[in-house]
Structure 1
Amino acid sequence: MTRLFTESPKRIADITTQGIPLLAPVTPAGPPDPDDPWGSSHPAPPVDRTTLAWCTAVQMLADHHHTAVERQVLAADALLRELGVRGLAQLHSDLHLGAPIDYRFTRCPYCSGLGEDPTLPDCREVGCPPQYKFANHPHICPVCRGEDYQPEWFAAKRVADLDRWLATSFGQRPGWSPWCRRLAQRFRKRR
């Protein structure tokens, strides 16, 4: 938990001290388009650039594109206006060419692998049921959905499961056991 209190403010301070305006301007509403029934004539809400979500988004974009943070400001604004904090999971997947991210093996960019919401919201903000109001319960990270980042433990468990599955598959089908034995030997040699 101490990591949570030290990493999040440092990440926000690293981004906000670069001279970027701390509040994105409100984009004016465009004229209504009769050809676009789904178009919005409402102005886009302002984006607070001091939030952890915005700082995480702009840092992810800058790191991926190998550019300065100032060049990714408008992209981070658009992401948070359109998708909010949960858009960070979509951005993370998009930056990995659309592949799903397994947060057990990849550190979450928002909560740094802790699994809890780093902004420490209260139950009213999150919308918890009334019976949880007085219980001291954690709120899961909206990006990784509370996945437990422990790549060493999950990798060892996955190899053990694979060994067990290969061991039980011997002799189940005629002609497959030599292939399974060779495959199991290859996996054992890798460890």
Structure 2
Amino acid sequence: MTTFMDRFADRVTEVTTELANLDMPLTVPASPFTTDEYGWIDFTPEIDRSRLAWCTAVRMLTNHHQTPLARQILSADALLRELGVPGLATLHRDLVGAPIDYRFTPCPYCDGMGEDPTLPTCEQLGCRIPANIADHPHGCPVCRGESCEPDYYAERQMDEAEQLWADALAAKTPPRRSWRTLLHRR
């Protein structure tokens, strides 16, 4: 039986196997400090292509653009070099073309768990505080600890919208009919 955490290991294994088949290195060494002709200092950190964040970025890019992994390697390198793991949220937003609400959409990095999959979970550490509060030490750096619970949040938002509508109707004129009667007439 595959556990939730096994999916992350499977993602890394799948991508690193493809990289090995392409004879691509799993690490890109850091470049030393260099100065260009304008005096700017340039340093590129080491990129580890066997990390979950890199594998997630390259999978997001290949799935969105429907291209082979070999065409997205440099894009994933650049994303993580420039923005790090939180850059996956920016990539996700850019690929979708709209802001992402991680209460309704599973995070591509932690799959909606709300915790950083590379660190111990709240259960393993015995946290008394849930992960979806600010500054929790091991919340997901992409979705910031939001757990994907669309059923819970959708029902709550429908209740809030219903209450707002009832309040608006009550404030406008004294109701002669119930709002449900008005709905059935349409």
| Amino acid of the structure 1 residue aligned with 2:161 | L
Matched with 1:185 is 183
**Aligned counterparts, 1:1-191, within 5 A:** 3-18=3-18, 19=20, 20-27=24-31, 31-34=35-38, 39=40, 41-97=41-97, 99-120=98-119, 136-137=126-127, 139-173=138-172, 181=179, 185=183
Distance (whole Å) between structure 1 residues aligned to residue 90 and residue 173 of structure 2: 45
| Amino acid of the structure 1 residue aligned with 2:152 | W
Q: CA RMSD in A?
A: 2.9
Gaps in structure 2 of 5+ consecutive residues = 132-137
Normalised by the size of structure 1, how large is the TM-score? 0.76
1:40-65 alpha-carbon deviations (Å, 9 max, x no partner)? x2331120000000000000000110
1:85-128 alpha-carbon deviations (Å, 9 max, x no partner)? 0100111111112x210001101000000000000169xxxxxx
Shift in Å, 1:26: 3.7
| Amino acid of the structure 2 residue aligned with 1:6 | D
Higher strand share: 2
Distance (whole Å) between structure 2 residues aligned to residue 49 and residue 85 of structure 1: 13
- C-alpha change, 1:56 and 1:173, in structure 2 (3 Å) is same
- C-alpha change, 1:117 and 1:60, in structure 2 (3 Å) is same
Distance (whole Å) between structure 2 residues aligned to residue 28 and residue 63 of structure 1: 33
- C-alpha change, 1:3 and 1:165, in structure 2 (3 Å) is farther
